[in-house]
Amino acid sequence: MTDCELKAARLQRALGYEFADKALLELALTHRSAGNRNNERLEFLGDSIVNHIIAETLYHKFPSASEGDMSRMRAALVKGDTLAEVARELELGEHLILGAGERKSGGRRRTSILADALEAVTGAILLDSNVETCRGCVLNWFVGRLDTLSLGGADKDAKTSLQEFLQGHGKPLPEYELLGVQGDDHSQQFRVVCRLTKPALTVEGSGSSRRKAEQAAARTALERLNPDEK
């Protein structure tokens, strides 16, 4: 067995699935930076199936949960940061096929690329097998996270809480703007500003991703709202 075949076999063991059509797996691992034949269409398919599997699982796991609770739990599980964490656990990054520029700039560790690749691999498994097999793989990847979920822990994130508060009081929604990114690719810090017009308030937040920086800014905005405004 060649090194390439050994590497593919190791990945498939980690995924818990052996491909009948190895070309599908290769396509799922091919980033758009590597050429026109890439994983974007598989990513589109995988995004839908991951959302469906997680939503269906939450529906059965939490029979008394409201739509809002299930939506928040699903969002936490299928957000880019979580998908990238799962991809890292599967060591997907070392198997990615990237263009020269992405390889040099740390593309194998990039959260967005890893998240997209996990969705593409999910789409590839679906096409190579069937819905039930694909569901089994996805649930196996997420089992630890699903087991630690509780209905009481389905708290709203700061951005959702801020948005719902403003909507409930008939006020304009907040605006977020990226101020800058500092640091190397593997240790980037994002700075974001959150602006409210009514009440007038401008705060900043930072984090290791744009989403985390926006959440930090929203949290600060909530903390600074006067009690009578809340």
Neighbouring C-alpha atoms within 13 Å toward the C-beta of 8: 18
Question: Is 18 annotated as catalytic?
Answer: no
Return the structure tokens found at 206.
């930072």
- Using 50, 70 and 90 to split pLDDT, how confident is the model at 230? very low
What is the pLDDT averaged over residues 14-36?
A: 96
Task: Tell me where in the chain the CATH 1.10.1520.10 domain(s) lie.
Answer: 3-151
Whether 85 has a binding-site annotation, put simply, is no
Q: Which residue has the higher pLDDT, 131 or 219?
A: 131
3-151 topology per CATH: Ribonuclease iii, N-terminal Endonuclease Domain; Chain A (1.10.1520)
Of the residues 47, 69, 102, 128, which is catalytic?
47
The mean pLDDT of 124-143, rounded to a whole number, is 97
Answer yes or no: is pLDDT of 224 > 60: yes
**152 pLDDT tier (thresholds 50, 70, 90):** low
Catalytic annotation, pick one of 69, 102, 119, 128: 119
Is residue 185 over pLDDT 70?
no
Quote the tokens at residue 106: 């740390």
Residue 119 annotated in active site: yes
Name the segment(s) of the chain with CATH classification 3.30.160.20. Answer: 158-224
Q: What is the pLDDT of residue 122?
A: 98
- CB neighbour class for 117 (10 Å; exposed up to 12, middle 13-18, buried from 19): buried
119 known member of a binding site: yes
CA angle, 100 then 18 then 41, to 5°: 50
Q: What is the pLDDT of residues 72-122, one digit of tens each?
A: 889 889 989 889 999 999 999 999 999 999 999 998 999 999 999 999 999
Distance CA 220, CA 137 (A): 39
**How far, in Å, CA of 19 to CA of 23, rounded?**
9
Residue 125 has pLDDT above 70, yes or no: yes
DSSP letter, residue 26: H
Q: Note if the pTM is more than 0.75.
A: no
Distance of alpha carbon 123 from alpha carbon 59, whole angstroms: 22
Which element (helix H / strand E) includes 194?
strand 189-196
Are the C-beta atoms of residues 52 and 24 closer than 8 Å to each other?
no
Q: CATH classification of 158-224 is 3.40.50.10240, yes or no? A: no
Min mean pLDDT across 18-32, 33-47, 159-173 is at 159-173
